[in-house]
Structure 1
Amino acid sequence: MESQPLFVTPQTYARALNVLGEKITVLADRAATQGYEVFLQQGPEGSGPPPHTHEWDESFYVFAGHVEFNCNGTTLAATAGAFVHFPAGTVHSFRCGPGGVEMLSITSHTSQAANLFTAIDHEASSMPPDVPKLVEIGTRYGARLGV
């Protein structure tokens, strides 16, 4: 399929997905870009994924707020204007700071993140999280928790 131009506005965004307390809006999935994926992530204070790894690169650009990224045991504090990149296979997590965070995330061409986030929203959005269900969903889409 030939790639087509894509134009999204806040009025045309898809419904935000509930992923472990975060609101994640899919701005562009692999079908739309024929490659990478782009997401708007809005997380309240204390939200964020546990340590995990996946088969795709992932980058974050922080628009507003404070977020602490953890990578291989190192904590990186990020505020507005910060850019963070994790290569595929890197163990990482993050926790949204006081007042929450708004950031853009971009994944590489092997990403299954849109499918992963959609499955979590549909099958495991209750809190506290159903960890065995999250592990099963992650396995389905190339992500591993608690590694």
Structure 2
Amino acid sequence: MTFIQAAVSPSGRGTPAMAFGKHVIRMMAANTGGSLGMFEAFVPAGEGPPLHVHEREDEFFRVLAGRFGFWCAGDYVELAEGGCIALPRGVPHRFRNVGKAEGRLMVVVTPGGFESFFPIVELCKPETAEQIASIGKRFGLTFLPEDGRKVA
């Protein structure tokens, strides 16, 4: 698979995936020679994923709307619209919409592939934590216990 021509995602386009909230897949690894994937996440106030680790990809986030808190290893940072953060693979992290309204993130994963997690979850409709963990494992994603750490 090679990346030899521009991958384009015009405004208002993408493939919606309703899994853990609304996600819109904007670029697939298949369109970038596997080098990256990109999606938008629409995150209700107070929501965000549990502590987790990606074994395969680094993540880049840009806050498109709202205010988000990001935890990575022992660090915490809050970012408003326009703020960016890159999180390394293999390091426990999470984020939460700390604002009062729905927020929106642009997420780029490199290499690509993880962007397919949300359509697969939507398709499989897992009902238990074990089923979700099983799908995550296929994507090199592990959910971690909070261990009493204050992350809220």
TM range (shorter): 0.7 to 0.9
Q: CA deviation at 1:146?
A: 0.9
Report the Cα distance in structure 2 between the residues aligned to 1:46 and 1:19, rounded to whole angstroms.
Answer: 17
The residue aligned with 1:137 is 135
**Equivalent runs, 1:29-40 vs 2, <5 Å:** 29-34=28-33, 35-40=35-40
Q: CA deviation at 1:107?
A: 0.8
Q: Secondary structure at the match of 2:78?
A: strand
**Superposition RMSD in Å:** 1.8
Residues 11 and 75 (structure 1), Cα distance of their counterparts in 2 relative to 1, 3 Å cut: closer
**Equivalent runs, 1:1-147 vs 2, <5 Å:** 1-3=1-3, 4-14=5-15, 16-21=16-21, 23-34=22-33, 35-54=35-54, 55-97=56-98, 98-109=100-111, 111-124=112-125, 130-146=128-144
Q: Secondary structure at the match of 1:95?
A: strand
Tell me, yes or no, if the aligned pair for 2:117 and 2:139 is still in contact at 8 Å.
yes
TM-score scaled by structure 2? 0.83
Q: CA deviation at 1:80?
A: 0.8
Report the Cα distance in structure 2 between the residues aligned to 1:123 and 1:136, rounded to whole angstroms.
Answer: 11
Residues 146 and 13 (structure 1), Cα distance of their counterparts in 2 relative to 1, 3 Å cut: same
TM-score scaled by structure 1? 0.85
Structure 1 residues not aligned, in runs of 5+: none
Letter aligned with residue 9 of structure 1: P
Paired-residue identity, %: 24
Report the Cα distance in structure 2 between the residues aligned to 1:96 and 1:135, rounded to whole angstroms.
Answer: 23
Q: CA deviation at 1:135?
A: 0.6
Tell me, yes or no, if the aligned pair for 2:13 and 2:26 is still in contact at 8 Å.
no
Structure 2 residues not aligned, in runs of 5+: 146-152
